[in-house]
Chain A
Amino acid sequence: MIPTLTTDRLVLRPNRPADFDAYAAFYASDRARLRGGVKTRAEAFVQFAAEIGHWDLRGYGFWAVEETATGAYCGQVGLWYPEGWAEREVGWMVVADKEGQGIALEAALAARAYAYDTLGWPEVFSCIADGNTRSIALAERMGARFDRRHPRDGQADHLVYRHPAPAEVIR
């Protein structure tokens, strides 16, 4: 069962089939280059299905981020740890027309609080492709600090950022 989280402006809810068009549009754009790579619609579909299925395999995963006021789909934010990942991470993706409004930050704080308070994780990281300066800036706004570099097969290295521990996070 996938829980629903709410913040001031957002609802983090389970993905629905209707989210896929916006998700695929993000992956068709150059902005996906540093988030797993640009994908055709067929490739995006299996990635989208894998994000949803991650909940079944791990018991946590990505939520769809929805703007409460408009009901608009804004992107994917959540907790991610597939095979081969450096660490359990809080990750984010925001579609083009919802950028620059602090949506990823607001949703990622809720996801991190869920990891600490509900799942009882002692630590969480963010694994960010080298060169993704926007995501690095967001991780740093959340108080995360660079921990190490994680090489990856055929893709940009991940820069692994360690978030402040549960006791250090101001709520």
Chain B
Amino acid sequence: MIAIPTLTTDRLTLRAPHIDDFDALAAFYASPRASFVGGPLTAELSWRVLAQEAGHWLLRGFGRWVVEHRASGAPIGIVGLWFPAGFPEHELGWDLFEGHEGQGYATEAAHAARSYAYDMLGWTTLISLVADGNDASTRVARRLGARPDGRFTYERFGDMAVWRHPAPSEVAA
């Protein structure tokens, strides 16, 4: 198995997915918040999502982290680098669990994941896919300096807006 790196930011730890994250993930996927990312899902299917997050790391050598709120130790979301079959290119994605909105956590975690992609993996570009109507996610994309760059249809989630992130040279280190 690939060793999944741990990233830290001011308030958050981005770490490998773990079985103990299941309850929080299942609650997220049972909620209307998940309607923009293929949900709502049953507990059974949410478990598969957690497993696939872990498996993606082995298949691709990168993946998505569970975001842990360091002060409380609570898992508050899933953020990271995603490239399943059927995606047009490498994506930076963020799913924030219920009750943790509006505090800049998604932006903070996504910023760390983007830095990892550019500085550690040497990627030169990155997109984010945002479903129509997902206004909170659109705001995160804007805050990260991303710009609209057309549309893409992922057969599992439907038609989404493509947001193009600033290149490594445009991102303040």
Residue pair B58, A153 in contact (C-beta under 8 Å): no
Q: What mask results when residues 46 to 79 of chain B are scored 1 for a CB within 8 Å of chain A, else 0? A: 1111111111101110000000000000000000
Residue pair B52, A83 in contact (C-beta under 8 Å): no
CA distance A84 to B43 in the complex (A): 8
When the two chains form the complex, which single residue of B1, B17, B53, B85 contacts A44, counting CB atoms closer than 8 Å? Answer: B85
Residue pair B47, A83 in contact (C-beta under 8 Å): yes
Which partner residue on chain A sits nearest B154 by CB separation? A42
Please name all residues of chain A whose beta carbon is closer than 8 Å to the beta carbon of B170 when the two chains form the complex: none
Please name all residues of chain B whose beta carbon is closer than 8 Å to the beta carbon of A24 when the two chains form the complex: 85
Residue pair B51, A53 in contact (C-beta under 8 Å): yes
Q: Which of B17, B48, B53, B60 has the most CB of A within 10 A?
A: B48
Please name all residues of chain B whose beta carbon is closer than 8 Å to the beta carbon of A52 when the two chains form the complex: 51, 54-55, 58-59
Is B10 positioned at the interface, with any CB of A under 8 Å from its CB? Answer: no
Interface range for A:
20 to 34
Residue pair A46, B54 in contact (C-beta under 8 Å): no
* Segment of A55-63, A88-96, A102-110, A112-120 in the binding face: A55-63
Please name all residues of chain B whose beta carbon is closer than 8 Å to the beta carbon of A145 when the two chains form the complex: none
Which partner residue on chain A sits nearest B83 by CB separation? A45
What is the minimal beta-carbon distance from A83 to any residue of chain B, in angstroms? 3
Listed A/B pairs (10) with beta-carbon separation below 8 Å: A42-B154, A44-B85, A45-B86, A46-B52, A47-B48, A50-B52, A53-B58, A55-B1, A82-B44, A84-B43
Chain B interface main SS type:
helix
Q: Which of B50, B51, B54, B59 has the most CB of A within 10 A?
A: B51
List the 6 closest pairs (A to B, CB-CB), nearest first.
A42-B86, A53-B54, A83-B47, A53-B55, A49-B55, A52-B55
When the two chains form the complex, which single residue of A17, A57, A153 contacts B51, counting CB atoms closer than 8 Å? Answer: A57
Enumerate B119-173 residues with CB–CB distance to A below 8 Å: 154-156
When the two chains form the complex, which single residue of A2, A20, A44, A82 contacts B48, counting CB atoms closer than 8 Å? Answer: A82
Residue pair A82, B85 in contact (C-beta under 8 Å): no
For the complex, count residues of B whose C-beta is within 8 A of A.
Answer: 29
Please name all residues of chain B whose beta carbon is closer than 8 Å to the beta carbon of A43 when the two chains form the complex: 155-156
Which partner residue on chain A sits nearest B63 by CB separation? A49
Residue pair B56, A49 in contact (C-beta under 8 Å): yes
Please name all residues of chain A whose beta carbon is closer than 8 Å to the beta carbon of B58 when the two chains form the complex: 14-15, 52-53
Q: What mask results when residues 122 to 163 of chain A are scored 1 for a CB within 8 Å of chain B, else 0? A: 000000000000000000000000000000010000000000
Residue pair B55, A1 in contact (C-beta under 8 Å): no
What is the minimal beta-carbon distance from A78 to any residue of chain B, in angstroms? 13
When the two chains form the complex, which single residue of A2, A41, A56, A57 contacts B85, counting CB atoms closer than 8 Å? Answer: A41
Please name all residues of chain A whose beta carbon is closer than 8 Å to the beta carbon of B49 when the two chains form the complex: 50
What is the minimal beta-carbon distance from A157 to any residue of chain B, in angstroms? 15
Is A31 positioned at the interface, with any CB of B under 8 Å from its CB? Answer: no
Q: A46-B48, A47-B48, A53-B56 are in contact. List 19 more A-B contacts (CB 8 A).
A: A20-B85, A24-B85, A42-B84, A44-B85, A48-B55, A48-B59, A49-B52, A49-B55, A49-B84, A50-B48, A51-B51, A52-B59, A53-B51, A54-B55, A56-B51, A56-B54, A56-B55, A57-B47, A83-B46
